């Protein structure tokens, strides 16, 4: 069914692959926009087709290089506002700065709130994103924001896996912070839930302590929104195997950053497979056989289709 009429889909440079997939689902061409960088590092944007009165959707993940990609998005929104677009939705598959959502110490910024203000000031009329690290970030916005549940894309795959293997599975949250996400997923799958108690000594450095719940003799599905250095996932996998007595471990993670020694950590871990989405582009070179990629494009396309008539 063709349902893309009345909207325009544009893309920055951070994640053109998912933007093309979204446009394909909506059966509309990807908008004609040129985003380039001057020799001094400044970003230049040209919207090369009329957008007056249009419902525009700008697809841009604010993944590394975070600041460059964020500026691209802000300038594209500003360009469309000045070209008299009726509505401008920032479609942000991965929302950078979401982990800076509170003051932990005196003098700390709340960078997630700053990014929300910048998007609004640039001219965005709505934000569409997926698996915000902290759901309360939605309260930072003075414009509507829709936060999609990324694990929905994994649900058919994991249900088939459970059915075909006829095994005893359990969904495990690698820390307390992801427990709500894991609980929702376990309910959708119809399996039990467990939580790994984690302590974090420093940013990007964590250690699993113990397992809350029964994982003994079970197949574990670790669920998280982000794998960055992979410490949280790898420590959780170790805890459920060595302390909890689980049989094996797979993981479902929405956003795959893979910084530092992440790939080596995963290679050396108990995790047998990580299912991830394409909210962040992943270079194929050097990726482990442990990774299996799915796409969140259809979820974004469905959301855009639902929003296209809103003013």
Active site residues: 198
Crossing angle for the helix pair 155-165 and 179-189, to the nearest 10 degrees: 50
- In this structure, are strands 192-202 and 205-212 parallel, antiparallel, or unpaired? antiparallel
Q: What angle do CA 95, 294, 60 make, to 5 degrees?
A: 30
Pair 110, 102: CB distance under 8 Å: yes
Instruction: Report the greatest alpha carbon distance in the chain.
Output: 61
Tell me which residue of 279, 215, 247 sits closest to 64, measured CA to CA: 279
């Amino acid at each position: 069914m063709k349902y893309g009429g009345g909207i325009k889909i544009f893309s920055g440079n951070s994640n053109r692959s998912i933007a093309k997939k979204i446009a394909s689902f909506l059966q509309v061409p990807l908008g004609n926009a040129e985003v380039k960088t001057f020799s001094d590092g400044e970003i230049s944007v040209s919207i090369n087709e009329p957008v007056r009165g249009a419902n525009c959707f700008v697809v841009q993940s604010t993944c590394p290089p975070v600041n460059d990609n964020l500026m691209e998005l802000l300038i594209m929104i500003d360009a469309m506002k000045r070209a008299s677009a009726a509505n401008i939705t920032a479609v942000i598959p991965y929302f950078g700065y979401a982990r800076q959502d509170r003051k932990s110490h005196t003098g700390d910024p709340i960078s997630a709130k700053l990014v929300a203000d910048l998007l609004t000031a640039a001219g965005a009329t709505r934000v569409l994103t997926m698996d915000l690290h902290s759901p309360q970030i939605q309260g930072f916005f003075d414009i509507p924001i829709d936060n999609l549940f990324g694990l929905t894309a994994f649900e058919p795959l994991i249900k088939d896996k459970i059915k075909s293997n006829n095994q005893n599975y359990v969904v495990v949250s690698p820390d307390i912070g992801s427990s709500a996400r894991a609980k929702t997923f376990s309910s959708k799958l119809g399996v039990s839930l467990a939580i790994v108690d984690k302590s974090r000594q420093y940013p990007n450095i964590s250690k699993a302590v113990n397992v809350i719940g029964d994982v003994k003799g079970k197949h574990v599905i670790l669920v998280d929104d982000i794998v960055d250095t992979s410490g949280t996932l790898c420590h959780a996998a170790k805890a459920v195997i060595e302390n909890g007595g689980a049989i094996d471990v797979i993981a479902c993670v929405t956003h795959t950053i893979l910084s530092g020694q992440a790939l080596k950590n995963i290679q050396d871990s108990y995790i047998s497979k990580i299912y991830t989405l394409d909210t962040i582009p992943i270079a194929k070179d050097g990726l482990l056989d442990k990774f299996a990629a799915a796409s969140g494009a259809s979820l974004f396309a469905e959301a855009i289709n639902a929003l296209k008539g809103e003013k």
